[in-house]
Structure 1
């Protein structure tokens, strides 16, 4: 255990004479998380709380009576909640719930590392919301139209060929955009026709690499003498001339939004739309949940269900039972 924080008779949490900065405690906590994006989000959410209540050290935190700290955290989360003017229902429940979860996790860490007595968010009631993804989907025909559009221009330049392959990987391999840009040639096993993808959370998932896609990747590498260790890297860099680095994920985001809007009649889509569409098309193809999980890297069936926003009336087992009558 690190330096103890104990509960006094006045219900304030007091510490020892050593001063420990909140920022240092936050850094220690987020270092336990694997994902860079998770570390960034946790740091921001936790730091925002302590900035709002003007607490800079664990000693200062320890001087706040517990009931008062609970109230301050409730006010912080309330101020972060946006409400619909007519219904007064929260319009950003996921964001607020995420902040509450980040704070609760941090106080659990303080309980473990600094003997902090209680978690002020133990009784927090999370906002209820529709537990299905709001990411826009693409139909099968829209995905095909996008791939055909990108394929027609792939011979014009290295950039056009690279971007075509990016859409192929998003569509066929259901990659997240960060998984896409960090993909290396060394991750590809030519003999086994597979690719080992470093995914969210710091683990790897092994995916089959269809021959049609593998052939196009090899053609791209050979035709443009691609020497970067990353499959998707800048074609030119006027600032530093450095090309052996992953493509910026924001470029992929902007590219997808622009191309899909052009091809699919103004539809608003993101790289994640292809991942969600992959799941829905796989379900339409009657793929089982385990096969889908093996492709997406999700840890639970519930996450697959979360991305399944197909019509629940149209996609319903009741239709098959009609033959009984």
Structure 2
């Protein structure tokens, strides 16, 4: 049972930072990974903070943590304090005029590996005093919390305070391996592809991608033989003969075994958006990276 609070002035920003990560990750282990610390340390920090406040902030369950009523109330104030602290930090960073330092960029995995990395290599060669860190991760990193400086996403950004622009329309086509087509032939769209095998996104992502809806419309009788949240994983499976797959044309070109398939209607393209916070966008090195990426992607427009 938490003790009666004795010194509220002793509460520090670090207390709230640990609390915010626990609230977002809903587990000691998840928050520990985010903060680069250990689960026992997170547990001790939580117990100390609850002792300082004299209140239970989380209900503990085998599946993880859930905010208590008091915790939910404190979360609102903690997030406001975080916003204020980050705004001050962005203003301070934005006052730096030099084209030096690190710029963190995030993008979908295949885009980062196949397209963005070679482009950013050109930027690094032209600006040797700037370090570009590319993070390709399925998890969306936050621009507002300064986890990242520049983000590329398929779809608009929803957070407040961001600047964003559509920088490309990425074409997709339907593909299969030559060996698959030799064995089964191209899909029969007239009967819904009853004998066809499909390669798609995992179920958790399938509903959010346009090409899955396209496949269901034109090949409703086909069965899903393989699914993955990795575009490269899908392409590799298709190249090995696992079935039909909708892929970005630039990714498919990296797999010689794949063949484009004529379809009754075009596979939907995907809009690529570039986003950054309006404050960090004032930093010369960040703006330089933003303008460079946007310029390089004009070829896809």
Task: Using structure 2 for the length normalisation, give the TM-score.
Answer: 0.27
Q: Relative to total residues, which structure has the larger helix share, 1 or 2?
A: 1
Task: Using structure 1 for the length normalisation, give the TM-score.
Answer: 0.25
